[in-house]
Amino acid sequence: MVMLCLSWGFNQVAAKFAIHDIPPLIQAMLRSVGATLVVIIWAKARGITLLSRDGTLIAGVAAGALFALEFIFLYQGLVYTTASRAVLFLYTAPFFVALGSRIFLPADRFRWWQWTGLALSFAGIALAFGVPPPSTDPRQALGDILILAGAFAWAATTVLIKASPSLNKASAEKVMLYQLVVSAPVFAVCIPLFGEHMRQVPSWPALAALAYQTFWVVSVTFVIWFALVARYSANRLSAFTFLSPLFGVAAGHLLLGEPLNTAFAAAVALVAAGLILVNRAR
């Protein structure tokens, strides 16, 4: 999980590298199409059956729709709100997972110290990124709501895959393919609706950043994530995602020269303390 969160933290930097040449929804569509091919080739090489009738169709399509909605809400929310506010609202997702688990995964319910751990980790994220004061611009509130909706979609995808008897037994590759195959045409439809277009041929750094997202983040780390969700506690795994924005800050400092504030070390300590509480044995 730490390796996945490190990869996802660097993914934030990769998206920044590419976004000036390749708008966000176009990035999302291209990586879904590219990752679909990679995962199919990998599954064929390993002899994994993808087209068998195993009762996963309805749940798989629902997971794919939620996957697409997550990124649509996130990218459109960033149009109206600030990046720091977006991080805070997006990382409410572990709380939604914990709440959903109380309903759909009763064996995976959190105890009071684990809720305290979630709160500590979230406080660490707030300390790292700051809590900007609300704006009088009503569009910022709309952006915050869209980011919150994206966090809910992210959490709902995790809970659905964990709670679905069919998806939980399916291969991680098939679970990932449902999301890629469903999301790609959704992104393609949304691109003209939101007025995205490419003004020039992408630069090599932008293409390299897109390749990193496609071949490593989506094709490999997302598949590993769904394999972990099927086997381990969705609540505890979701709590680890608080590491991703911290790794993103560190990656921005190393690769883009972005400054680190003095609160960053304290933020890391809070997130680490929270994860210890979340993973504490009963």
Domain count, the chain: 1
Residue 65 has pLDDT above 70, yes or no: yes
What confidence score (pLDDT) does residue 280 get?
Answer: 79
Percentage of the chain surpassing pLDDT 70? 97
Distance CA 63, CA 114 (A): 27
Distance CA 226, CA 161 (A): 8
Has this prediction a pTM greater than 0.75? yes
What confidence score (pLDDT) does residue 133 get?
Answer: 65
Look over the chain and give the mean of its residue pLDDT values, rounded to a whole number.
89
Domain span at 190: 2-46+54-196+204-278
Rounded to 10°, the helix 57-80/172-193 angle is 40
Q: How far is CA 191 from CA 59, 75, 195, in A?
A: 26, 11, 6
Residue 136 has pLDDT above 70, yes or no: no
